[in-house]
Amino acid sequence: MRMLFKPYVIADRNIRVKSYLTPVILLILFIVNLNVTAQWNTQSPIPTFLDVRGVGAPTADRVFIATEDNSFDNSGALFESNDGGNTWVQRNIPFSLFDGFNGLFFLDSQNGWAFGNDNYRTTDGGTNWTQLPFLGSTYFMKFYTTTFGLATGNFDRYVSYDAGNNWVVSPNNIFAFDFTNDQIGLGVSEAGVFRSNDGGNTFISVLSGDAKAAVFLSDTIAISIINETFYRSDDGGLTWSPVVSTNGRTKLTAISSSVIIAWGRTGGWPNYDDRVLRSSDGGQS
């Protein structure tokens, strides 16, 4: 093996010393340089030592975190920062002050939802929060338009058509959605991929089979996983063509209009397969 650093020798009549000081100094300088250029700073226990269940940022400066409840204080489970996370204020939400949150989601700079045993909504970026009607213990909530959203919990899968005021059983038992605009969306269930062109009011089957995921890359390009195969649509989800095997991947994350990531664990211990697949040509390969 070729050495990167050659030791120099200091010698006299009785002593011969090999010095490795140069590589050590360079290593120390390298580590110091890494620390100087690091972009992450530890926040805990500020703003809180509590378990963080959700993070939402309606703007670059305004950030919220949702936490578990602290039974030893009389404050809420929502923390707010207006300087990008440098300083924090604990908000008195939920109003009961005795419940924590399970998560937090912002659709845009104005509309956000905090959920748990009690659910809340804001329409002004988090300045004011309105308590929503009781739904149950909510473990997941996401809105795809300002009115249409999905929630799961001890009540199974529900959707709302009015921003969370009322909830009904998810159509076709759909467990995941993705919308490219306020009207066009895809839904995924064990029965296949469904498509809506009216903001989620109705969904029509467009691809049958055991579906796992479906996402838009653009208004026209969409990728789905069904029957352990990647499918691609060039017309906004109306028609689909098989591409290649997923090799067991079950989840999709769209990065851009051309880049998409497929992931999900397969196999069993100790030989789990956690490979991540990447396409840079819009899912064509």
pLDDT by position in tens, the chain (length 285)? 333 334 333 344 443 444 444 444 444 444 445 444 557 766 656 677 888 999 999 999 999 999 998 877 778 899 999 999 989 999 999 988 778 999 999 999 999 999 999 999 999 999 999 999 999 999 999 999 999 999 999 998 999 999 999 999 999 999 999 999 999 999 999 999 999 999 999 999 999 999 999 999 999 999 999 999 999 999 999 999 999 999 999 999 999 999 999 999 998 899 999 999 999 999 999
Q: What angle do CA 246, 181, 128 make, to 5 degrees?
A: 110
CA 70/CA 213 separation, integer angstroms: 36
27 sits in which H/E element:
helix 21-37
Residue type, 239: T
pTM of the model: 0.81
Q: What is the dihedral of CA 238, 241, 245, 250, to 10 degrees?
A: 0
How many other CB atoms are found less than 10 A from the CB of residue 192? 21
Cα(first)–Cα(last) distance of the chain, in Å?
A: 39
Contact yes or no for 226/213 (Cβ under 8 A): no
Give CA 224 to chain center in angstroms. Answer: 18
